Structure 1
Amino acid sequence: MKMMAANDKALILFICFMISQAAMAADTNLIGCYFDQIYQLGDSTADTGNYILETSNLTAFPCANPPYGETFFKKATGRCSDGILMIDYLAMAAGLPFLNPYKNIDADFRHGVNFAVAGATALPAHVLAAKNIPVTRSHSSLDVQLDWMFSHFNSICLDYDDCTRILKSALFVVGKIGPDDYSYPLLLQGRPVEEMKAMAPEVVDAIADGVRRVIKSGGVKIVVPGSFPIGCLPVFLTDFQTNNTAEYDEHHCLKRLNDLAIYHNDLLKQAIEDLKKEHPKIVIVYGDYYNAFLNLIRNAQNLGFDQGKLQKACCGTGGEYNFDITRTCGTAGVPVCPEPEKFISWDEAHMTQHGYQIMSDWVINDILPKLECH
């Protein structure tokens, strides 16, 4: 008997997983929308491999190393989680295969493309540089990803009318993106939250302009996700840790950082309303990642999470939140918890596969009635 090819094993694994997920969440699907393709733009919460394909310094990128990917893929794929991401669940809910990263030039892009890159910002790197904000991860900001998208469409479309025909059955996901515009100065420079709030309108304007470019390319159904409650993430809880209990909310999240996320999201929701008035025939839906995340904390026990570890990273070491900037997840010798499914956070800023699955279900149920699928 011939040895089973690696690709065959991967296909069988994917099919089995699809069947199990369908059984678990039969009512959480986008099948009725009949999407033929999904196009994803964003940051590390959606990157399925672009960063590791565009950089030559993989040792500096934790998500390129084990134990990332261990729960599903049994190896690191560039996804910043122990397994699959929200975009993977979104694709499955639409009955589509996982999206290949754009930088994989030999990949099959018939069902869409993932343009997201870890560390990507909404504002271009040169704009942030003018504000003295360092971008230490990727310069493939939203405008760069949109340029990639247009190049891709130029390669598959004969002309604009042909693109319009092809993309009428496509779903575009523009984000999440923008939080890294704030996290670089907050975490690397210690700049005040108030300064980030002052920058938020410019960040949201960049996202809105990105949506306009998607519409110009032929997109008719667009989801624009907002920010997570960043004050609940281990990296921010560690960096802004304080003995002042008034700084924390009832979930032990940092209020002023969550206020920044809420402000960003409120601006984004208003921008979406303005875009809908500009383009009344285009379906533009806000992706409420903020409340999808809060749902994990509010209903942690019923969802299978360990009530005593809601803010702790599964993969990490040190301090109250299992996070040490000098010994991050993916670094040799850094421990990983034996049951990731009991943790919300996989590392300092990304969710476990279990967390992403529940968030995805929540978001899909929220956006489905608004996508106007008939």
Structure 2
Amino acid sequence: MAAFTRNNSSSLSMLIPSLFFALLSSFNSVNGDAEANSLYLFDTIYQFGDSIADTGNLVREGPLGAATPFSRFPYGDTYFNKPTGRCSNGLLMIDFIAKELGLPHLNPYLDKEADFQHGANFAVAGSTALDTSILAQNRIMVPVTNSSLDIQVDWFTDHLKSKCSSKSECAKILKKTLFMVGEIGGNDYNYAILQGKTIDEVKADLVPKVIQTIKNAAEKLIDLGGVHLVIPGNFPIGCLPIYLTAFKSDNSSAYDKAGCLRGLNKFALFHNHHLEQMLHQLRKEHPDALIVYADYYNAFKSVLGNATLHGFDKESVLKACCGSGGDYNFDLTKLCGFDGARPRVLTQTKD
């Protein structure tokens, strides 16, 4: 969805913080004290997840990460004028969130020379919720990184040792900390489906394990002193160019009115439903923690349904903004950053 123009990046920069303020309002509505009368202030953010949030960990993991296209233009071109390891030409959602909270961009944890005073980013592009050994048991290969959610939480645990030395001290520090736990799990499903697993197989074999893994991670963060957690759901994956290309159908009933694949979107909703059920139980088990579900599914659908209002060319919203060929400007062998893949010239609209 992200358009390769400053104009559309600007439009999203207005939309994403407004969505996040709704999350902050959710924190305030359950606080039940004087702090609920004003925007809850955070002085630190810790982010976990995958390419949606990675600000430079994958490209620092090793030679494989450094060789990915995220280490070269056009990634980083629009805002930073250099590649940063973000899987975007500009800013990510976490960048906008940090900005609206008055905090600097989160540095990647694997940049050992970075400043982590206001938090750290543990997300790694290509990462999964489940450990790669569990996925391997299901004959699912993870091609990019082994840094699953459990490993990212372990990184945070090690990092916390440099911030505090006792549970009470840590709890005091983490009282004004925002934990962004995901989006995570999307790659577990992506790898499985694109490697030939049926949606029914993924529902039965992976979804319960992914949900439980996210719960375990959240409980560990709470046990360490975390109070404010945002746990996002999955996007409407049936609207993404990679799936629209891989599962293109001549059957018009396979698509909804937006042109997205119905079956894949129903699967995303299936995951989100079970995630929300788990969060309901998690809140009961940890009543002192404030746990908010971030509805990325409907936020994405809102942008898609109001594309022209946000500066997008309505004829291009389902196409990759940088890619090569086909109905959706996407070719898995010519991803953005490889030879033959180019940014599209999009119709400009007024802000």
TM-score range, shorter chain: 0.7 to 0.9
The aligned counterpart of 2:197 is 191
Partner of 2:312: 305
Partner of 1:97: 104
In the alignment, does 2:71 pair up with 1:64? yes
Query: 2:338 is paired with a residue of what secondary structure?
Result: coil
Give the residue type in structure 2 aligned to 1:37.
Answer: T
Q: Give 1:164's match in structure 2, choosing from 165, 168, 171.
A: 171
Aligned to 1:301, the other structure's residue is in SS state: helix
Looking at structure 1, the residues matched to 324 and 154 of structure 2 have their Cα atoms a distance apart, in angstroms, of 39
The one-letter code matched in structure 1 to 2:54 is: D
1:112 maps onto 2:119 in alignment: yes
**Quick one: structure 1 residues 27 and 152, their matched pair in 2 at CA, closer, same or farther if it must change by over 3 Å?**
closer
2:94 pairs with 1:87: yes
The equivalent of 1:149 in structure 2 is: 156
* Aligned counterpart, 1:282: 289
Match runs of 1:109-258 below 5 Å: 109-187=116-194, 189-198=195-204, 199-258=206-265
Deviations 1:71-127 (A, max 9, x none): 111121111111000001111111100000000111110100100000111111111
SS at match of 2:146: coil
Shift of 1:297: 1.1
Contact preservation (8 Å) 1:46, 1:85: yes
d(CA) in 1 for partners of 2:198 and 2:180? Answer: 30
In the alignment, the residues of structure 1 paired with residue 227 and residue 271 of structure 2 have an alpha-carbon distance, to the nearest angstrom, of 24
Contact 2:313 2:346 in 1 (8 A): no
Output the TM-score relative to the length of structure 1: 0.82
Three-state SS of the structure 2 residue aligned to 1:243 is coil
The number of residues matched between the two structures is 323
Whether the 8 Å contact between 1:196 and 1:260 is mirrored in structure 2 is no
Question: Residue 208 of structure 1 aligns to a residue in which SS?
Answer: helix
Is 1:265 aligned to residue 272 of structure 2?
yes
Task: Specify every segment of 5 or more residues in structure 1 that has no aligned partner in the other structure, as ranges.
Answer: 1-16, 343-353, 355-374
| AA partner of residue 137 (structure 1) | V
Structure 2 residue runs of 5 or longer lacking an equivalent are 1-8, 25-37
Give secondary structure in 2 for the equivalent of 1:104.
Answer: coil
Aligned to 1:366: none
With normalisation by structure 2, the TM-score equals 0.88
- Tell me, in whole angstroms, the C-alpha distance in 2 between the residues paired with 1:26 and 1:213: 29
Q: Percent identity?
A: 48
Secondary structure of the corresponding residue to residue 307 of structure 1: coil
Pairwise CA distance, 1:56: 1.0
Q: 1:329 to 1:166 in 2, by over 3 A?
A: same
Quick check: 1:296 aligned with 2:303? yes
Instruction: Tell me the secondary structure at the aligned position of residue 128 of structure 1.
Output: helix
Contact 2:71 / 2:84 at 8 angstroms: preserved in 1?
Answer: yes
Partners of 1:90 and 1:318 lie apart in 2 by: 34
- Is the CA contact 1:314–1:337 (under 8 Å) kept in the aligned structure 2? yes
CA distance in 1, matches of 2:299, 2:72: 28
Q: How far 1:32 moved relative to its partner?
A: 2.5
| Rounded Cα–Cα distance in structure 1 between residues aligned with 2:348 and 2:89 | 10
Contact 2:17 2:100 in 1 (8 A): no
